[in-house]
Amino acid sequence: MLLLLVLVLIGSCRRQKFSCETLTIDEAKDSCYVTKALETKDITKCHAAKDSDNCYNIVWKELADYSVCQQIPKQSLKDSCYAYIGVLENSSSICSNVKNDFQRGSCFYSIGIQKQELSVCENTENQNDRFQCFSGIAKSKQDLEICNKIQNAEIKDNCYSGIGIAKQEGAICSKIKTQVYKDQCLSGIARATQDFAFCDNVQDFEQKDSCYLIIASAKKDTFICGGIQNPKTKDSCYFRIAVDKEDVSVCANIQNYGTKQGCFAVLNS
């Protein structure tokens, strides 16, 4: 009912020189200010809205014109406006108007990735944001030389990992110093290539077991299940393959009595 009333009142706003102030319902009044602001392309109409923040947010996204941002009184919203339109228009010059360091960096980061230009990343004051921007471009271009420009060890290793997985080259994983990213690289290649040999070098036991499980299930190969250390995960591996292959004999490999009986029950039903 309220929504119908709002629509009627907004229609009235459009048909005549209607004053939003005459409305008594806050939601209807605010909707009226949004409509007025959009029709006149004047975001200052939102100043009078009770929920002015929401009004500004709707209007700047609809108008998509960075010139309206400077008319917003609250700096945080002004920054959000410039950042949103900067990314939308792929314009680093618009991003430069953002005062908040984090939002400005995020704006340059997004444009750097879109344009695939390291020079845009350089505008990011926060060093780690700059390196994350480098990493995003490096992964997209599969360019290890860009990873080498990164001076943060974890971000660099994550960069190598992404490219190693994309190129499916285990040699790239060997460049990685941080074990979590090396494991990520190896297991990623294993999954991409369906080659469980890469799982063998994963150090984290849970990730290694997961690596074996995924490939064994995909290939329906019980031999690969044998490499899994966690008993529950190993039984789950055999269970999946038994069901997928509709081969009750595979159930015999399951160690847990309840799981084994469940396997037999499913396949004998």
Instruction: Evaluate whether residue 69 is within a structural domain.
Output: yes
Instruction: Evaluate whether residue 246 is within a structural domain.
Output: yes
Q: What percent of the chain has pLDDT over 70?
A: 93
- If pLDDT is split at 50, 70 and 90, which confidence band does 18 have? low
The answer to whether residues 38 and 81 belong to one domain is no
How many residues are there in the chain? 269
Instruction: Evaluate whether residue 76 is within a structural domain.
Output: yes
The answer to whether residues 49 and 106 belong to one domain is no
- If pLDDT is split at 50, 70 and 90, which confidence band does 124 have? confident
Instruction: Evaluate whether residue 200 is within a structural domain.
Output: no
Averaged pLDDT for residues 73-83 = 95
The answer to whether residues 222 and 239 belong to one domain is yes
Q: What is the mean pLDDT of the chain?
A: 91
The answer to whether residues 1 and 59 belong to one domain is yes
The answer to whether residues 58 and 71 belong to one domain is no
Instruction: Evaluate whether residue 170 is within a structural domain.
Output: no
**pTM for the model:** 0.72
**Last residue within a domain, chosen from 125, 145, 167:** 125
The answer to whether residues 225 and 257 belong to one domain is yes
Instruction: Evaluate whether residue 226 is within a structural domain.
Output: yes
The answer to whether residues 59 and 8 belong to one domain is yes
Instruction: Evaluate whether residue 235 is within a structural domain.
Output: yes
| Tally of structural domains, the chain | 3
The answer to whether residues 74 and 36 belong to one domain is no
pLDDT tens-place string over residues 161-220: 999 999 999 999 999 999 999 999 999 999 999 999 999 999 999 999 999 999 999 999
Structural domain that includes position 5: 1-63
